[in-house]
Amino acid sequence: METTAQEVAEWMVKEIRFTGTLRQEDAIAYVKEHFGEQFVFVNENGNPSLSKDVKKAFRKLHGGRIAWDRDGFLWAWT
């Protein structure tokens, strides 16, 4: 069965709920290895990023309970 952006987003929320934070580089490495390359791309700054579909599903799922920390390059439970 093919993995969906929704499943990737669900993993991210679970991970953050459990550990409190999720570093972007760890998320990208895990997603690539366990869900597939199709959920990761290189953005205009040359940095790896999660696909727009994943980010959209992720935002919808956490409904504002998770914040992005620009300085730490991580997401944190609020």
Domain boundaries, the chain: 5-77
pLDDT given at position 2: 82
Place of tokens 């980010």: 55
Q: Which residues pair with 23 in a beta bridge?
A: 74
**How confident is the model over 32-64, as pLDDT tens digits?**
999 999 999 999 999 999 999 999 999 999 999
pLDDT at 77 over 90: yes
Fold designation for 5-77: Arc Repressor Mutant, subunit A (1.10.10)
Is the whole model's pTM more than 0.85, yes or no? Answer: yes
Spatial distance between the Cα atoms of 17 and 51, rounded to a whole number of angstroms? 21
